[in-house]
Amino acid sequence: MQPIVSINNLSKVYSSGHQALTDITLDIQPGEILALLGPNGAGKTTLISTICGIVSATSGSVQVDGHDIVSDYRHTRSMIGLVPQELTLGAFEKVFNTLAFSRGLHGKQPNRQYLEQLLKDLSLWDKRDSTLMSLSGGMKRRVLIGKALSHEPRVLFLDEPTAGVDVELRKDMWKLINRLRESGVTIILTTHYIEEAEEIADRVGIINNGKLLLVEDKTDLMQKLGSKKLSIELREPLNTIPDSLNKYDLLLSDNGLTLNYQYDTRSTRTGITALMKDINNAGLILRDIHTSQSTLEDIFVNLVADQS
């Protein structure tokens, strides 16, 4: 399948000399949700801004739907919707008018019905005649999404769409993003919230210092890089771990009631059977056992820390 967005060896050096992107190569498939994770200043916004035409690339190329973003910018930009990170909105325009303005900028004929439905989907229909400056932060965020969707884009870039919004609105946005994906829109979002990527993304890209460290299917990534933790709860507390269990690098909890064992899900032998046997031989009586998977956050923190 031809990727909807194809980034090839993209680099960006700002006039200040700051290298914001280094040799980024990435294919984004139609209809997927790709989450780009990275700390502040990692290059996420520069990457999005370059694809959308706000920032000029220093080298490399980007194709959207097989068309170059520079030589065929009319085609590529008409397919793209962008929700910026900042609440960049005018002050005196009315909600409905600002959406109609954005739709017109992309060369689309006015379509009152479509915009009405869009405002209803974003719970903004009641505010259609309100001025932008009278809206709350959450509503402004929704207006920005409405503006980005006003011209019916096939690719939607969301630059930290849920930054600074409350939990309820964040969940509403996740629902909206899923609905958009169901309608065939490809979504690329940047986020600080690992929980967000974990919840809605199909693939996850991790970017740091302008370099794309990895792009993986979310589930594969968690299985591939994620270690599992086996927690063994004891009936009686221990002061020290018995010598016979030293080879397992167990960690004893402060209260002495839990032994934690870290193991790799990718290896053929996890060591669990031998551990259980040795625990039994050491005369320890178990109260409970449970396992937990590493979160995306753990993976992210480890990767970024490794690179640093």
Is 147 one of the binding residues for other proteins (CB under 8 A)?
Answer: yes
Cβ–Cβ under 8 Å, residues 60 and 9: yes
- Work out the widest C-alpha separation in the chain, in whole angstroms: 78
Q: Is 305 helix (H, G, I), strand (E, B) or coil?
A: helix
Is 14 one of the binding residues for other proteins (CB under 8 A)?
Answer: yes
Residue in 36, 85, 51, 42 with CA at minimum distance from that of residue 202: 36
Interacting residue with other proteins among 68, 93, 172, 217 (CB under 8 A): 93
CB 161, min distance to other proteins, A: 15
What gap in Å lies between CA 47 and CA 57, rounded to an integer? 9
50-79 positions binding other proteins, by CB under 8 A: 52-56, 73-78
CB 69, min distance to other proteins, A: 10
- If the CB atoms of residues 49 and 186 are measured against other proteins, the closer one turns out to be 49
What gap in Å lies between CA 34 and CA 202, rounded to an integer? 6
Q: Which residue has the tokens 């109260």?
A: 287
For 161-181, the DSSP string reads: TTTT--HHHHHHHHHHHHHHH
Phi, psi of 299 (to 5 degrees): -65, -45
Is 140 one of the binding residues for other proteins (CB under 8 A)?
Answer: no
CB 56, min distance to other proteins, A: 5
Specify the amino acid at residue 44: K
Interacting residue with other proteins among 109, 267, 273, 308 (CB under 8 A): 109
Specify the amino acid at residue 211: K
- If the CB atoms of residues 77 and 142 are measured against other proteins, the closer one turns out to be 77
* Torsion, Cα of 64, 95, 131, 135 (10° steps): -80
- If the CB atoms of residues 73 and 307 are measured against other proteins, the closer one turns out to be 73
Is 134 one of the binding residues for other proteins (CB under 8 A)?
Answer: no
Interacting residue with other proteins among 100, 169, 200, 234 (CB under 8 A): 100
What gap in Å lies between CA 231 and CA 262, rounded to an integer? 9
Is 102 one of the binding residues for other proteins (CB under 8 A)?
Answer: yes
Q: Which stretch binds other proteins (CB under 8 A): 48-56, 217-225, 247-255, 260-268?
A: 48-56
Interacting residue with other proteins among 1, 91, 167, 305 (CB under 8 A): 91
Interacting residue with other proteins among 34, 37, 44, 84 (CB under 8 A): 84
Cα within 13 Å of Cα(12), Cβ side: 26
- If the CB atoms of residues 54 and 282 are measured against other proteins, the closer one turns out to be 54
- If the CB atoms of residues 40 and 88 are measured against other proteins, the closer one turns out to be 88
**Total Cβ atoms within 10 A of residue 273:** 9
Which tokens in the block code for residue 269?
């032998």
Question: For binding to other proteins (CB under 8 A), which residues are involved?
Answer: 14-15, 49, 52-56, 73-78, 80, 82, 84, 86, 88-93, 97, 100-109, 147
